[in-house]
Amino acid sequence: MQGRYNTDFSGLVKCADCGWSLSYGENRQNSKPYGHYHCSKYGQGTRQCSMHYIRYDVLYAYVLSRLQYWSGLVQHDEERLLKRLLNATDKGQAAARKKQAAELKKAEKRKAEVDTLFARMYEDWAAGCITEYNFSMLSGKYQSEQLNWTQRLNSFNPLSPLKARTPQTQKNGLP
Ligand SMILES: [Zn+2]
């Protein structure tokens, strides 16, 4: 492979950060010139992305090893590989659903806590236990947190009935 570079992967390799194609280039300043791919968004001199970079020989060896791995599995037991791939997809989806359910539960729990704190603080204020100044300071804090959690809960499912709970204050400023 020494000295024989081509652009096999052009258009196929993308920057993990910006999604642009990596462009091919060659470093001839090195005593042993080598090919490499780098982020084309960075390469334009716009500095819009960072210098993501991979050597051609490193990429070639990696892709080759993956191809050998998968073709080995196909030859060994195609049926089992197919089952494994389908199972992996199921597992991935189940894990994503589980993660989202956990986040939803956490958001609901914290929102309930903030609601309780807010109600308690209001009672304290009504009973004269906290000053007007502290009341307005804390109520601002809790209200913004309430709004934040409400929005996060809504973002889980835009069609959920939670949308109806969006505070009235958001509607201010409409004609
Ligand atoms: Zn990039």
Token pair 């597992």 in the structure block, residue: 91
> Pick from 24, 17, 18: which is nearest to 54 by CA?
24
> Pick from 162, 163, 144, 150: which is nearest to 112 by CA?
150
Q: How many A from CA of 24 to the centre of ligand 1?
A: 14
Q: How many A from CA of 55 to the centre of ligand 1?
A: 16
pTM, two decimal places = 0.45
Q: How many A from CA of 56 to the centre of ligand 1?
A: 17
Rama region for 118: left / alpha / beta (φ>0; ψ in -120 to 50; rest)? alpha
Q: How many A from CA of 61 to the centre of ligand 1?
A: 22
CA distance 91 to 165: 34
CA distance 118 to 145: 10
The pLDDT tens digits for 116-159 are 888 888 888 888 888 888 888 888 888 888 888 888 888 776 44
CA distance 164 to 170: 12
Distance of CA 17 to the CA centre of its chain: 11
CA distance 18 to 123: 51
Q: How many A from CA of 162 to the centre of ligand 1?
A: 38
The pLDDT tens digits for 28-86 are 888 888 888 888 887 566 667 887 888 988 988 888 898 898 888 888 888 888 888 88
Q: How confident is the model at residue 166 (pLDDT cuts 50, 70, 90)?
A: very low
Q: How many A from CA of 14 to the centre of ligand 1?
A: 8
Q: What are the domain boundaries of the chain?
A: 1-59, 89-166
CA distance 85 to 91: 10
Instruction: Give residue 173's pLDDT.
Output: 46
Q: How many A from CA of 12 to the centre of ligand 1?
A: 14
